């Protein structure tokens, strides 16, 4: 051929469909959301648990600790003593068993102590001073939160050392003193003035008013409740917290050979465990049935393994003095369900009478705050300092929380209350508080139905290993061994991360329209391309952890 070659111009494909806005088809669009997990919803300190568990999974341990201590400055202690409502609420509970959140908290808390991690110094220093009365969980938590905001804080405590119930109540086999010492020191090192060995009373208020802009009362509850069946001045009848304190001070009170512990809470179990370690025969008498006893099941299990005999659902009717020993006339009871919350009314079951013999009886049926010299200075109701939702007492500038102001007697609750009270105090001091990034009011808690379980093969739950009973019952060494690195990693992998994106890319991978792209500027890692999204919802369905929601669109 000669001449020029004519090229026929292409009449077909000339462009890409990406100029077509298929986004106009939809009526709803999926959005990435950080939604609250059920563990967060019940956490006494409002901890965003999936976030720090994910940091453990990513081996960002220090970040995990920093997330934890936003809300709780004593994770090694709370990681051993929390009543862990989170594990009860965990979406994994019904799937294959809850994530061992408490054990993970201890893991990170212990690591922080081992590694010597410190809190950063406050960025501002304020002139205002706050007096914190009581260096237990609530007081420490409040002092810490105030101090990190720059407030000048003095903690007054009647005991020689800080820690409160953690130091003088919870026994060594549950919470070693050195952990409490390390965590309290770290808080004090933020620059907190500490006055120990001084028990402040209501009469000291005048002095405090002079020097401090606000006062926080958190000295706990130390007045043991008594039972009318027992004589007040019988040396064979002891009270639980005084006994535990004596054990903590390495000068245990004298016990007879046969010990009967009355009570069904954590204190009763701690008393029983301590008495067992002092080589006594121990029986426990609890008003509630085992399933509804206030003590966590594992604490009950521990003492039974160690040889305590549990008589649950029963009470003492009368006490007979058999010159030397006490003979207790008991009866099985069931609890009246038809009572207002907080009230316990046992109903005797006829014909179930039995007797127990004891050389020593230890009552662990609760404590009341000692408020004699506070009454008249702040409003007291139902044996506690009365506070409003912002932890304000009846007297301006005085705040209270913890056992002194709450009937919810959990250490973790005290830590949470201390934190919230600190926020209230900061507001009172006229300081702006940086509002924590919480969840929007309309944010819906992630339920198990929001979890795509295909992505979570069942995996056995794993708790801390326990020291063999034949070894542990002869000493006060800690019962539970912390998680090993491998155990902690396995546990962290079990977390669904309900409502918290972990950048798994599923939303992007399952989009038939390529309408979700990774975007480092997006607040939640991804951007939905509105011009293309047809609103099918595959991303939402394939998100393993409920970290997406739907936004209806009206045109």
Partner 1 sequence: MGYEINEEKVFSSGHAACPGCSEALAIRFVLNTLGRDAIAVVPPSCIAIISGPQPLSSMGIPVYQTTLEASAASAAGIKRALVSKGNDHTNVVAIAGDGGTYDIGFQALSAAAERNEDIIYICLDNEGYMNTGSQKSSATPSMAFTTSTPAGKLSPKKNVPEIMVAHNIPYMATATIGYPDDLARKVKRAMEIKGGLRFINILTPCLTGWGVPDSAGPKTSRLAVQSGIYPLYEVENGEFYTLNYGPNGLSVADYVTTQKRYRHLSLENIELIQAEVDHDWARLQKKF
List interacting residues with partner 1 (CB under 8 A). 11-22, 25-26, 452, 454, 502-506, 509-515, 529, 531-532, 534-538, 540-542
- CB nearer partner 1, residue 325 or residue 531: 531
Min. distance of Cβ 534 from partner 1 in angstroms?
4
Min. distance of Cβ 214 from partner 1 in angstroms?
46
- CB nearer partner 1, residue 68 or residue 548: 548
- For residue 83, the 8-state DSSP code is -
CA-only gyration radius of the chain, Å: 29
- CB nearer partner 1, residue 53 or residue 153: 53
Min. distance of Cβ 31 from partner 1 in angstroms?
15
- For residue 410, give both structure tokens: 């959990």
Q: Report the C-alpha gap between 55 and 218 in whole angstroms.
A: 33
Min. distance of Cβ 99 from partner 1 in angstroms?
15
- The contacts of residue 367 (CB under 8 Å, 6+ apart) are 220, 221, 222, 223, 224, 225, 241, 403, 409
- For residue 479, give both structure tokens: 């019962």
Query: What are the two backbone dihedrals, phi and then psi, of residue 213, each rounded to the nearest 5 degrees?
Result: -80, -25
The distance of Cα 327 from the centroid of its chain, to the nearest Å, equals 40
- CB nearer partner 1, residue 42 or residue 536: 536
Q: Report the C-alpha gap between 488 and 493 in whole angstroms.
A: 9
Min. distance of Cβ 531 from partner 1 in angstroms?
8
For residue 11, the number of C-alpha atoms closer than 13 Å in the C-beta half-sphere is: 1
- CB nearer partner 1, residue 20 or residue 327: 20
Min. distance of Cβ 500 from partner 1 in angstroms?
13
Cβ-based neighbour number of residue 24 at 10 Å: 10
How many residues comprise the chain?
Answer: 555
Region of 104 on the Ramachandran plot (φ > 0 left; ψ -120 to 50 alpha; else beta): alpha
Min. distance of Cβ 91 from partner 1 in angstroms?
17
- CB nearer partner 1, residue 207 or residue 530: 530
- CB nearer partner 1, residue 110 or residue 542: 542
Q: What is the DSSP string of 215-255?
A: EEE-----EE---TTS-TT-TTEEEHHHHHHHHHTT-PPP-
Min. distance of Cβ 488 from partner 1 in angstroms?
17
- CB nearer partner 1, residue 352 or residue 458: 458
Min. distance of Cβ 503 from partner 1 in angstroms?
7
Q: Convert 268-290 to b/e letters by CB count within 10 Å (16 or more is b).
A: bbbbbbbbbbeebbbbbbbbbee
- CB nearer partner 1, residue 455 or residue 474: 455
For residue 422, the number of C-alpha atoms closer than 13 Å in the C-beta half-sphere is: 30
């Amino acid at each position: 051929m000669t001449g020029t070659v004519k090229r026929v111009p292409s009449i077909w494909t000339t462009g890409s469909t990406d100029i077509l806005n298929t986004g106009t088809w939809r009526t709803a669009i999926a959005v990435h959301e950080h939604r609250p997990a059920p563990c967060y919803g019940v956490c006494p300190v409002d901890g965003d648990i999936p976030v720090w568990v994910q940091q453990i999974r990513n081996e960002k341990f220090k970040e995990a600790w920093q997330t934890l201590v936003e809300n709780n400055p004593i994770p090694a202690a709370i990681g051993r003593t929390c009543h862990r409502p989170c594990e009860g609420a965990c979406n994994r509970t019904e799937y294959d068993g809850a994530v061992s959140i408490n054990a993970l908290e201890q893991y990170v808390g212990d690591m922080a102590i081992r590694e010597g991690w410190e809190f950063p110094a406050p960025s501002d220093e304020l002139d205002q001073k706050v007096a914190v009365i009581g260096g237990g969980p609530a007081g420490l938590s409040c002092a810490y939160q105030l101090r990190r905001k720059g407030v000048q804080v003095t903690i007054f405590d009647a005991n020689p050392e800080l820690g409160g119930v953690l130091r003088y109540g919870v026994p060594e086999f549950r919470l070693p003193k050195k952990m409490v010492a390390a965590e309290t020191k770290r808080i004090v090192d933020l620059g907190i003035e500490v006055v120990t060995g001084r028990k402040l009373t209501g009469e000291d208020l005048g002095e405090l008013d002079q020097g401090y802009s606000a006062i926080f009362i958190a000295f706990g509850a130390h007045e043991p409740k008594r039972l009318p069946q027992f004589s007040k001045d019988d040396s064979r009848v002891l009270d639980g917290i005084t006994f535990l304190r004596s054990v903590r001070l390495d000068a245990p009170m004298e016990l007879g050979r046969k010990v009967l512990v009355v009570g069904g809470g954590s204190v009763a179990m701690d008393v029983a465990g301590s008495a067992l370690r002092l080589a006594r025969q121990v029986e426990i008498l609890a008003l509630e049935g085992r399933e509804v006893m206030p003590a966590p099941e594992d604490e009950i299990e521990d003492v039974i393994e160690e040889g305590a005999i549990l008589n649950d659902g029963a009470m003492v009717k009368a006490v007979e003095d058999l010159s030397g020993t006490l003979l207790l006339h008991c009866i099985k009871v069931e609890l009246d369900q038809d009572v207002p919350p907080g009230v316990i009314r046992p109903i005797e079951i006829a014909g179930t009478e039995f007797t127990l013999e004891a050389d020593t009886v230890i009552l662990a049926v609760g404590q009341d705050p000692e408020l004699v010299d506070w009454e008249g200075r702040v409003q007291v109701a139902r044996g506690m300092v009365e506070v409003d939702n912002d932890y304000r007492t009846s007297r301006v500038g005085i705040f209270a929380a913890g056992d002194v102001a709450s009937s919810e007697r959990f250490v973790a609750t005290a830590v949470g209350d201390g934190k919230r009270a600190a926020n209230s105090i900061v507001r009172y001091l006229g300081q702006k508080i940086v509002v924590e990034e919480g969840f929007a009011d309309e944010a819906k808690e992630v339920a198990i139905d929001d979890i795509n379980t295909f992505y979570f093969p069942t995996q056995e739950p794993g708790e801390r290993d326990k020291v063999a009973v034949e070894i542990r019952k002869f000493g006060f060494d800690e019962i539970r061994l912390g998680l090993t690195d491998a155990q902690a990693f396995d546990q962290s992998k079990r977390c669904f991360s309900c409502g918290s994106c972990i950048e798994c890319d599923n939303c992007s991978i399952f989009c038939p329209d390529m309408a979700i792209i990774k975007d480092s500027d997006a607040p939640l890692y991804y951007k939905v391309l509105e011009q293309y999204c047809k609103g099918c919802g595959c991303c939402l369905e394939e998100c393993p952890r409920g970290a997406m929601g739907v936004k209806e669109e009206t045109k």
